[in-house]
Amino acid sequence: MSPGVLDVDAMLSDPATRIVVCCGSGGVGKTTTSAALAVRAADAGRTVVVLTIDPARRLAQALGLTRLDNTPRVVDGVGSAGGGRLWAMQLDMKRTFDEIVEEHSSPQRSRQILSNPFYQSLSSSFAGTQEYMAMEKLGQLRAMGDWDLIVVDTPPSRSALDFLDAPQRMARFLDGRMLRLLAAPAKAGGRAYLKVVGAGFTLFARILTKILGAQVLTDVSAFVGALDTMFGGFRERAEATYKMLSRPGTAFLVVATPEPDALREASYFVERLNNDAMPLAGVIINRVHRSAVPKLSGQRAETAAEALEEMGDQELTAAVLRIHAEVMFTARREQRITARFTKAHPEVALREIPALAGEVHDLAALRVVGAALAGEQ
């Protein structure tokens, strides 16, 4: 096989490959690609868990499950006589954060944290929480050791860099000097502390109270004070996760479509992964338009359709020719866009997946996608 073509089957069958991370912008088919890779790996004999981010019910339905949640569930009808099995789960970022709190603090302390209004806001909607919790869940799954392959569908971030930055950013936030300063009153008994530090902190607290409000400031202080014993753990897990992602057993796949914005985002990912020495396996370009009659150009098909329409005959044939012409024009445009990407990144292995006629709604369709990923179509 040409070194420029991504060999998906070789990657999935290699026992040294323990984690596959699918990343890219939103709407490019990352979730479907992740599920198809997981099904193919399990059918080939591996024990696989796929962690998805997409809440769409269609994925659960495609896997034959009534629902997906934060607990891995066995997918029936997938696997092999050699022991291959598949589990699937959908990230619940708040539940994952709750699990961290419960695991790393006493029952009394965890109740204080979980009931804190600032924590509830942080765990549900704080910028970067979803990306960070995806990595926390990945670390949990790897530590359990129940699967020899983990496939991760990363969140669709605004920036292509958010996913890689999230663990460090969350750790810096939770271990930051500002939060520790806000925690000081709770840790030192409120007013007694203010008497010790003097007028400087009092002025600072008054300004923050005006900006945030007294209740918010109280909630933040109580939250950080209760979470204090966990700060080091956040930082250590962030560092461990980053190291795990950089090891040879991890394979990053950048997913895109043959559109300028999606490939521009893919370029950012490729460059960042290379700069950080992350193990990039290749790029998957989804929804590529192809024709069963590639020798008939779009221009010739359009000319033939016009001739038939002028004759007032063969309307159905003319309509088919126009559809073919549109597909060929689209395919040619996509080829030009993809060529610019490959010229900029000639060292990156590539796999193109043809556009499907319909939605992926069952295991059979996921296996069709898997076959295309392996180059069987």
Q: Which of 100-104, 273-277, 298-302 has the highest mean pLDDT?
A: 273-277
Element counts in the chain: helices (H) and strands (E): 17, 8
- In sequence order, what DSSP letters do the residues of 195-221 get, joined into one string? HHH-HHHHHHHHHHHHHH-HHHHHHHH
Measured N-to-C along each axis, helices 117-125 and 93-103 cross at an angle, to the nearest 10 degrees, of: 130
Q: Which of 76-85, 113-122, 189-198 has the highest mean pLDDT?
A: 76-85
pLDDT of res. 136: 82
Residue 254 has pLDDT above 90, yes or no: yes
Residue 81 carries which side chain, given as an amino acid letter? A
- What is d(CA 49, CA 43) in angstroms, rounded to the nearest whole number? 13
| Span 225-234, average pLDDT | 64
Least confident of 19-33, 170-184, 348-362: 170-184
Q: Which tens digits make up the pLDDT trace of 173-215?
A: 666 555 555 555 545 444 444 444 444 445 444 544 454 445 5
- What is d(CA 14, CA 4) in angstroms, rounded to the nearest whole number? 19
Number of CB atoms found within 10 A of residue 238's CB? 23
